[in-house]
Structure 1
């Protein structure tokens, strides 16, 4: 079967022939509201990453995810969301399982100060499941999908407002972290009107540049900010330092490479943006509590 990739509007297309099959597919979307065209859930060949917040509503059946080293199951009529920059992969599903897959820009979570605990759980790798669901949710999510795919600018703006409100209701009505790692952090106080744009620029710069040599100062400059102010703003908004976010992204990439490719450990380290093997080993073992080679053996899909 021909391996598939996603592009900005989430349409499935054949991988370009120059794509290196040793590497997992890493996607950086266009940061807009958009929807997946396919309703039928399919197993994925390997973990991938993208820039938006992803919402999955299971219309029927059941699906299993590999997410950051864990297997998680989502049942029928359940809604979950997570940050796409955390490596994830559909590993299994019941026959006939269908879902609605929607993509929301990270700026939605950044733009509301009352979402601070929720937002930080997401950026730290939580898989959020909504506790309160309504009988008509499936029809609403299918309508949102259809309207986002329609290309009608007015309808898409309506969906933007309604979907943003649905995310806010998850925080108000209750949620749980399927990885049991949700934690509260400090909320933002008074801020200027541009801080959301600045933080999104920094997150995007990290996502697109962490595999090269970048520093916290580089991230701040990319957002047009003084380094000290950038570091303070980023920590308040995201719940970690800029350097921690860079290391987090490099480790996310490394675990994806370990599982989805046969690259030697040394090459995994350098492909993930680490300047030395010792730095990679130290960071990897601190986070995953085991050596990369053992991690690969334990989590590599069978077959």
Structure 2
């Protein structure tokens, strides 16, 4: 079990074999889960099942959030039936529990608020308290949040989909600095261009072109923050074909020019 506090506003599509809980404390954030997109406001909670493809849409505004990861082993030890299941309610908002049901949001927010307070104050034995609160959250999820089993056919399709996505993501990671054509990336997933376009959009909620631009901009932002490279050098290190395209895409995603971003992050 792990706790993260972060203000990162962009994260490309990914998945992991853990249950992820995202709690927005400040600002707003758009989160994609599989092919659904959700707008998160302060106080909102998102539940992401293991193997769900998810991503954070880049925005220019400040946002702070708490992320909790539960290894599936914890779930399965306490609730063996959780294996090969996913949450049927993923976006929890204050005061919007279905009639007649326990207010799961209120229960979770109480525990999350205690975690934030304990982490900030760091009084003696705070790590013990944090761990206790995490187990409380685990019990709340198991007792009160409906889960739906994957059928064997769904599980098989999911595993094939994740395997193809993993190949695509790895290829981008290794080749983002070079031109990547649609035909080229489609062959990595063993699809035609037409079927790859449909597959990637359905699996991640975004086009491959948008994903590639987001990935390259995040690489460029890293170089701008952590190197003495000129902007021209960063353009080509991050895979953009021209300074004009780089400036336009960077501004769309980060909300400012590359030079302003570099100046603000010196």
| TM-score, scaled relative to structure 2 | 0.51
Q: Counterparts of 2:233 and 2:204 in 1: how far apart (Å)?
A: 30
- The equivalences for 1:51-66 within 5 A come to 56-57=2-3, 65-66=6-7
Give unmatched runs, 5+ long, in structure 2.
19-32, 37-47, 95-152
- Sort the Cα spacing of 1:127 and 1:175 in 2 relative to 1 into closer, same or farther, 3 A: farther
SS in 2 for 1:274: coil
Distance 2:64 2:164 in 1: 25
User: Please, which of 203, 222, 229 is the counterpart of residue 256 of structure 1?
Assistant: 222
Q: Which residue of 1 aligns with 2:57?
A: 124
Inter-partner Cα distance in structure 1 for 2:182 and 2:75: 32
Which digits, 9 at most, give the CA deviation of each residue in 1:154-211, with x for residues without a partner? xxx84695698699459547379xxxxxxxxxxxxx9872333222322222232222
Contact 1:211–1:271 (Cα < 8 Å) also in 2: yes
- Correspondences of 1:38-117 after superposition (within 5 Å): 56-57=2-3, 65-68=6-9, 83=11, 106=15, 108=17, 116-117=35-36
Instruction: Indicate conservation of the 8 Å contact 1:234/1:241, yes or no.
Output: yes
The answer to whether residue 230 in structure 2 is matched with residue 281 in structure 1 is no
- Answering whether residue 107 of structure 2 is matched by residue 174 of structure 1, we say no
Q: Would the alpha carbon gap of residues 283 and 172 (structure 1) be closer, same or farther in structure 2, given more than 3 Å must change? A: closer
- Give the deviation of 1:121 after TM superposition: 5.5
Q: Distance between the aligned counterparts of 2:165 and 2:93, measured in 1?
A: 25
The alpha-carbon distance between structure 1 residues 243 and 116, as it changes in their structure 2 partners (threshold 3 A), is: closer
Which whole-Å deviations, capped at 9, do the CAs of 1:116-150 have from their partners, x for residues lacking one? Answer: 436575253598746xx9xxx9xxx6xx6xxxxxx
Deviations 1:53-80 (A, max 9, x none): xx8426xxxxx545248xxxxxxxxxxx
Secondary structure of the corresponding residue to residue 67 of structure 1: coil
Classify the secondary structure of the residue corresponding to 2:233.
helix
Q: Kindly indicate whether residue 231 of structure 2 is the aligned counterpart of residue 290 of structure 1.
A: no
The Cα of 1:240 is off from its aligned counterpart by: 1.0
Does residue 209 of structure 2 align to residue 243 of structure 1? yes
Count of paired positions: 170
Contact 1:199 1:223 in 2 (8 A): yes
Tell whether the 8 Å contact from 2:6 to 2:65 is kept in structure 1 after alignment.
no
Contact 1:128–1:175 (Cα < 8 Å) also in 2: no
C-alpha distance after superposition, 1:93-135 (max 9, x if no partner): xxxxxxxxxxxx72659xxxx86436575253598746xx9xx
CA 1:175 to 1:226, structure 2 compared with 1: closer, same or farther past 3 Å? farther
Point out the structure with max Rg over C-alpha: 2
Write 1 or 2 for the structure with the bigger share of helix. 2
Are residue 205 (structure 1) and residue 146 (structure 2) matched?
no
Structure 1 CA distance for aligned equivalents of residues 222 and 85 of structure 2: 28
Counterpart contact for 1:129–1:175, Cα < 8 Å: no
The answer on whether the counterparts of 2:225 and 2:265 sit within 8 Å (CA) in structure 1 is yes
Cα distance in 2, alignment partners of residues 167 and 292 from structure 1: 43
